[in-house]
Amino acid sequence: MKLETSRLDRFISQNTDYSIADTRLLIAQKRILLDGRVAHSIQQKVTKFTRVVLDGNCLKDLSPVYLMLNKPRGVVSATKDPKHTTVLDLIQHPQKDELHIVGRLDFNTTGLVLLTNDGAWSRRISLPETKLAKTYEVTLSKPLNDEYIAAFREGIHFAYENITTRPAQLEILSENSARLSLIEGKYHQVKRMFGFFQNEVLSLHRVSVGPISLEGLEVGQSRPLTPNELAATESHGPC
């Protein structure tokens, strides 16, 4: 199906030899199960992850997948690449070919990458309005000072697009390193924000997205998100 949501009668007509009109009889005869329950209306919604069974035969059974990966340097944030190792090449999962990347990292940027087959979830957590902070550890070529903190808090103006970044939180860790948290992800945003001060980013490492942290995950390794991590992303909603 092209759409993520469809009416039950349309789904049946598109995926079986039965017509839309036939679906009423199939429901009356209790021959259709949706997620293990007897269907009761032709207007019931069939989503991407609804399990549909007709006469004991499964028509659709796709499980949502939510993974996190600790991306190494020199790996492409893509599903396919003819020359370089991709994030999918590092993952062993039976549904990995269905996954897409939530918030890409540059070739030499390391750290947390999220992958899923749930488009609604990835779109939601990517919205600035959801206010899920993305936190990075940054190493710079020149020393930092308090001017950076104030400028990042007020927003940096990108003249080319004539836009100003949303307020970001900068914590100076040492003379040439900092921790940066922001809620948006414009093109090369972190590098361009420091570029406002003509300060080159030497290394960039994403440590967390909202409540989801890399802690304990080795470089190049991946794992499913826990129920608690998923629930925590649900608690952040558009304001």
**Beta-carbon count within 10 A of 171 CB:** 12
Catalytic residue among 22, 106, 118, 146: 106
Q: Tokens 């919205």 map to which residue?
A: 127
Based on the residue annotation, tell me whether 106 is a catalytic residue of this protein.
Answer: yes
> Which single residue is written with the structure tokens 């003509």?
198
- Provide the annotated active-site residues: 106
